[in-house]
Structure 1
């Protein structure tokens, strides 16, 4: 019984930590003092590279402004959730239950953010010509290749020299 409770508590810590890290990464992607300005610059570069018409630029801007408002609301809810998690008292009798509740809430917020970003991406995709869609896909693949992901060592492709 005690061992089972200990395992559940450990599981809650692992889930809470994973969700905290995911939230911190999303906060970093959105925030910082230059977060909004950097998003505007990226959007402008994308518009230039895709050679968007004036009408498409207006649509693009409208989609991102609307999306930014909705995304910001989710982001703020994530911050409140993170703050609540930090304020929990580990010695409280119902600590594991509180962590589980906040972890579930965080999972729902992450889900909302993923869905929201996908909806914005689909709206942008719908306004592009087939050639622009192809170019956007190519740009996204190139961008993915530039960053180092977890597990990417000097040889790339997830190879690790310590295996």
Structure 2
């Protein structure tokens, strides 16, 4: 009887404690991982090209000329990423606004699909352009080391299996 009483008392305490601890995970305003919360402009600016170039310069032993070229490449990439982000938001807004019961639904959906396909193609093209530009800037040894770093990062993030 004592064990049953203790169990009945402990069970609600454990449930309340677990709920409280789980709720504390996103209590902070600084937690950008909260579901539904997006990166702010400030967060995107933290991906400062200068910092990325300095990290690469240390690991790849870049010359000053290489640093400048890589920095300009990263700045251009950041601007293109912002443009792509805005286009993607526009596409999502269009898709959310589609009405399946509308007369022109099929044609509007086809246009949205074409836009999405074009954006995906552009993203792949841009990735290949970035790789080609990096190959022009870096020496073959540095490029091999850079690709190894990327592969390691992608594997660490679970993107490559």
TM-score (norm. length: structure 2): 0.65
Q: 95, 116, 121: which is aligned to 2:105?
A: 95
1:135 paired to 2:145: yes
1:35 paired to 2:44: yes
SS at structure 2 position matched to 1:90: coil
What is the aligned partner in structure 1 of residue 93 from structure 2? 83
Question: Is the Cα–Cα contact under 8 Å of residues 56 and 127 in structure 1 kept in the other structure?
Answer: yes
Q: Which structure's relative contact order is higher, taking Cα pairs within 8 Å and 6+ residues apart?
A: 1
Which whole-Å CA distance do the structure 2 matches of 1:148 and 1:70 have between them? Answer: 25
Q: Where do 4+ consecutive residues of structure 1 move more than 4 Å? A: none
1:86 Cα deviation from its structure 2 partner? 0.9
Gaps of 5+ in 2: 1-37
1:72 Cα deviation from its structure 2 partner? 2.5
Gaps of 5+ in 1: 1-30, 158-163
Question: Is the Cα–Cα contact under 8 Å of residues 60 and 146 in structure 2 kept in the other structure?
Answer: yes
Aligned length: 121
What is the aligned partner in structure 2 of residue 60 from structure 1? 70
1:88 Cα deviation from its structure 2 partner? 1.4
Question: Is the Cα–Cα contact under 8 Å of residues 57 and 67 in structure 2 kept in the other structure?
Answer: yes
SS at structure 1 position matched to 2:103: coil
Larger Rg: 2
1:43 Cα deviation from its structure 2 partner? 4.2
Which whole-Å CA distance do the structure 2 matches of 1:54 and 1:71 have between them? Answer: 25
Superposed CA offset, 1:87-135 (max 9, x none)? 1122212223211210111110111122112212211221101221111
TM-score (norm. length: structure 1): 0.64
Which whole-Å CA distance do the structure 2 matches of 1:45 and 1:125 have between them? Answer: 18
Which whole-Å CA distance do the structure 1 matches of 2:153 and 2:117 have between them? Answer: 27
SS at structure 2 position matched to 1:81: helix
